Amino acid sequence: MSQRQPSPPATSSSGRRSTASAGRSRGRTWLRRGLWTVLALAILGVTALGIAYARTEVPEPNEIATAQTSIVYYADGKTEMGRLSDSEGNRVSVPLSQIPDHMQKAILAGEDQSFYQNNGISPTGIARAVWVAVKGGAATQGGSTITQQYVKNYFLTSDRTLERKAREILLAVKIDRQQTKDEILENYLNTIYYGRGAYGIQTASAAYFNKDVSKLTVAESAFLASVIRGPSLYDPALGEQQAANAKERSGYILDAMVENGWLSASERAEATFPDTFVDYKPRTLRGTSGYLVEMVKKELVATHKLNETDIDRGGLRVVSTIERPKQVDMEKAIKEERPSEKDIGMGMASITPGDGAIVALYGGADYAKRPQNAATQDKMQAGSTFKVFTLIAALESGDFSLRSSLNGASPRYFKEFADPGADTEAGRRGRVKNFGGESFGRMDLRRATGQSVNTIYAELNIEVGGKNSMKAASDAGVRSTLQPNVGNVLGTDYVTVLDMASAYATIAAEGVRANPYIVKEIRFLDEGIEPITVKPVTKKVFDEDLMSDVIDAMTYPVEGGSARYVGQNLGRPAAGKTGTSESFRSAWFDGFVPQLATAVGLYRSGPDGEELRMENLPDSGDITGGSYPARIWTAYMKAALDGTKVEQFPEPANINKDAKYRPTQTSKPSGPTTTQAPSTTAPPSTTAPPTSAPPEPTPTPEPTPTQPSPTPEPTPSTPGNGNGNGNPGGRGKPAPSASPGG
């Protein structure tokens, strides 16, 4: 009798079918569970949202009069510098019927074109704010409707949190249902901040145009709709850039009004930007500190994305980078050493190398009299301070070393500098000459830098290329618009004092560029909001060995060249470069020690802002980089560095030791040595022959260093107001006894 055999194991095929069937069953189960979970969460979310909405009550409006003033402190975090708010509850409400329709439409065009169609919120804007917050940013990102802005400004605080944003959204929806669109728009127009201490459209109309709101033109309405985006960025009274911003934004609003059918093409064509504004002098921004407080305000808006209402009413406590002792030292140096002529303006800035902190800055004597900052907004020809960037480019190319020798004869003629349209034969032939016609023999780049020899550096830039000099300047930190012309080596580009302080700080930091900044810390009244501590933004842009050679060359002007006054009086190692622009229209000394970089720029302007020569002045004679700028710089740096460690510069690396420069261009023989005054040929406007580079302005004159003669110390003077119309002081003061310099 045979025994029954046990059943064999299931085949692989049947096993796979069983497993797959079980997997599908489990998958359907999990899918069902997942769907039910999502549905449950959705129901809970809707329920929670409904409860939150029901419990959200419209609060009493904030009292503008009780708003907290924002305060700026010096770097110690204790000493008050100034206050950011310029308002005292300045608001007058008017009915919507009194506000012109084009004013209403301008606001809609700029802020919320779907205002009459939406339910008070912008889903895309909300999503963007949440996404930014999830990534770690502040819950303040835009896309806010007019209703949301009204809710935030009138009912809520300026907290930068998701909780506040959520309340804003719920309140916006609720108010959109409780009030008509016209009521919301009326309330918005009467509560929004327009700058100049003005809350509401009626007060703003008076603050900017001295008229009732009902009398506003279309163009004026477009401007007021623009300025609410950030008064410090759009008020023309605060500077040329603000005026340009306002024109651009106003144009956008007017075009949007046309696109939405709110304005005809002919009305748009007639709506030209207003040419007359009420003269505005901020109540809270006065004296030299006014420029610093305004810089802080701009940085809060541009870098830290705070709006004007946050700043004006938010009760911020802002710690700046400005060190009060250094600021006092700077103002004292300017007061005691500046020229006495009324129309001489000047700017000065001091930066920590490798960090970018602005530790002292002079933008003028009184912000209330002249709000344009001489250190950050006024632009002057760089003069020979630009030669340093050509030196950087030359050493970077590998074709030159500090030992490279070039011809310092004067004058010399270069086809690359020729201008066929020049008024003089010399200009048409491309003449470049040294200051006073001083002619030198062959000189290496160290000595040529020390003596600021125009003809050598003109030849050098022809070989290097103006484009590479421009790049070196930009890499170092010059943010002004530059041109790639070979003539830029002689300082034809217009730059700011802060530009040059930042660029020279990069050299002092051995090639580490640090973005300049003035806000060190932002504290909020709400203790639940973490303070913002600013970290320097740095980048390595130049090799250390390259910088050590550049620094070495820059010690030559100080040790025995065009800035020898500095070397004779500072009492520690320093490096720098003088600069005197074409026809004495600007004069500079920019320099540094390892731990501090400072730039000084002087200029002279007429009643309409035109450039004037600082030549043969009654009290000051010829103002060159080696005279007043060098004296001011030295007086400040000596005081600011008192008690600090004397640090040494790195030893030169002597890169490109084997570089053997051979000129690839030819220059015509130089003429006889002369002692004539600097050339005043105007910058050419014509194009050069096809075989030459773009035409260049007439080269910057450079003074020949001479041994200073003993001259009495100038008597202290009262500084001017920074606008070329300052208070005179020290009448009859002799010109500084310093080597005139480049």
- Residues composing the chain: 742
The residues carrying an active-site annotation are 111, 384
| CB 516 within 8 Å of CB 360 | no
Angle at 127 between CA 122 and CA 128, to 5 degrees: 100
Q: How many CA atoms lie within 13 A of 291 on its CB side?
A: 29
Q: Which residues are within 8 A (CB) of 307 and not within 5 positions of it... i.e. 6 or more apart?
A: 140, 158, 230, 301
For the chain, the 3-state helix, strand and coil shares in percent, each to the nearest 5, are 40, 10, 45
CA distance readout (Å), 664 to 231, 459, 460, 462, 484: 54, 10, 11, 9, 19
The residue to which tokens 């569970």 are assigned:
33
DSSP category for residue 11: P
Amino acid (one-letter) located at 379:
K
Return left, alpha or beta for 490; rule: phi > 0 is left, psi -120 to 50 is alpha, else beta.
alpha
Preceding amide of 411 cis, omega within 30: yes
CB atoms within 10 A of CB 465: 18
Q: How far apart are CA 379 and CA 373, in angstroms?
A: 10
Q: Which helix (H) or strand (E) holds 592?
A: strand 586-593
Burial of 719 (C-beta count, 10 Å sphere; 0-12/13-18/19+): buried
CA distance readout (Å), 257 to 202, 224, 694: 22, 14, 44
Q: How far apart are CA 303 and CA 28, in angstroms?
A: 52
The residue to which tokens 């006092």 are assigned:
328
| CB 437 within 8 Å of CB 544 | no
Instruction: Return the structure tokens found at 291.
Output: 């420029």
Q: How far apart are CA 22 and CA 34, in angstroms?
A: 18
| CB 143 within 8 Å of CB 122 | yes
Instruction: Return the structure tokens found at 270.
Output: 């007639």
Q: How far apart are CA 576 and CA 569, in angstroms?
A: 14
At residue 583, φ and ψ (nearest 5 deg) are 60, 30
Return left, alpha or beta for 430; rule: phi > 0 is left, psi -120 to 50 is alpha, else beta.
left
- Strands (DSSP E) found in 440-531: 442-444, 494-495, 512-514, 519-523
Q: Which residues are within 8 A (CB) of 131 and not within 5 positions of it... i.e. 6 or more apart?
A: none
